Chains A and B, each alone.
Chain A
Amino acid sequence: MYGKGLRPLSIATVAAIVASLSLVFFYAPLDADQGFIQKIFYLHVPLAIVALVGFVIGGVFAILHLRSGNSKWDAYSYVSIHMSVIFGVAVLLTGSIWAKASWGHWWVWDEPTLVSFLIVFLMYATYYPFRYAIEDRERQARYASVFAITAGAFVPLNFMAVRMAQSLVHPRTFGTANGGLPGEMMLTFLVSLVAIGLLWTTLVKFELTAKSASGQLKRLRRALDAPAPGGSSRVAPEVS
């Protein structure tokens, strides 16, 4: 059931990525200051936006999990956060490359968004050791949901505080000296954003499908191996 829709989604994702790459390399104009390396912006910023949205989505699933007690929401929450953390690594790497190209250093503390993102990434990276240190399965899921909600509340506060701590604000990518992003760049950016968003969604769906399949397999194996108890039949319920 998870697998349904995976193929059209994958196709759409590939198409969007191809479109985005074409635009980035053949359509978007070269930036006057930063040159070719500026094009990494079309990868870095969409990755960051999608990762952050993914964290928020993970928090929303966590709320649904606590309210309903249905463990499928916990699976959704876990995979959303998982994928966003992976995308987060990519954000930091591409951000570092961009920093090196633009300002000559592999890391800059002057860019508040990058710094905020680092802190958010560090926060969510603790999700795994935290989660796996709790042995009881149901309790683990509940605590993980509380973590996801707490971390979700933390994200906007963090961005605000870091922004306020900067006395010097670097040129924002959307507000360049000429005021605003030129039309071609904006189009390329939006298409890239859609492509990365679709990529995230496809990978999440893919991981959920894989998890559900392996879970079903485990259950069937256990049901077959377990000796039949007197009277009752206890075949595992289907994952729906």
Chain B
Amino acid sequence: MRRLEGRRAIVTGGGSGIGRASAIRFAREGASVLVVGRAENTMETVDLIRAEDGKALGMVTDAAVEANVEAMVQRSVSDLGGLEIFFANIGVTGTNTPLLEQTVEEWEEVYRINTISCFLAIKYAGRHMTAQRYGSIILTSSAASLRANAGAISYSASKAAVNNLAQTAANAFAGTGVRVNAVLPGLVETQLTRKVFEDARARGIEGKLGHVTPMKRPGRADEIAAAAAFLASDDSSYVDGQMLSVDGGVSSTHPYGRIAL
């Protein structure tokens, strides 16, 4: 299915993990993709897309800085010819420092990257999309936004704010035809969670990863990408302001056990 034929998409955090998988998936569905990331692996994603005859450009920049987000939207419009999809996907994990010892500096940085980046995506993509009266903005949240003990505290709180942004921005864009939704991954091996997976492998308990979910396994980046593609496409044309959990069932059922992160 090529549901995104002719569409232009920005994917941030596109150098690895969920962002890379989503950029590749969007391109396979026919979209031209502006891949944005802070590191050089951003261009590797562009190469991967081009290697399968997809259309992609890259931008190495911090997607939590206002001027950069404005520049990305301009680049998509000038070099790809428009913008219909923005997947705001950058994130940091925060630390597991005991709560009583956490610092404002850590919280400000986590909020800047996880939450304010989403606000900026909504602001600049929103200006373009509301004017053309069409667009889909997708925000990466997390199962940790709904439950304790699924991530660092600052991370969980910053992602709960992202859920709220999906609702409040959807409402703010009422009547414009622009949709805003959040995707809530469970445990997925990405740059953010690599340590968890590596530790588990080192201890020979890789099979235990994701065992608290009903599906008894962690998710894969391409499974989150498939959900993002659904939210990007017109298959979700009546889905607006929603939180889509893609977590193997961890947020919808009684916990099976404690999550060791």
Q: Please say whether chains A and B are actual partners in one complex.
A: no
Residues of A that sit less than 8 Å from B by CB: none
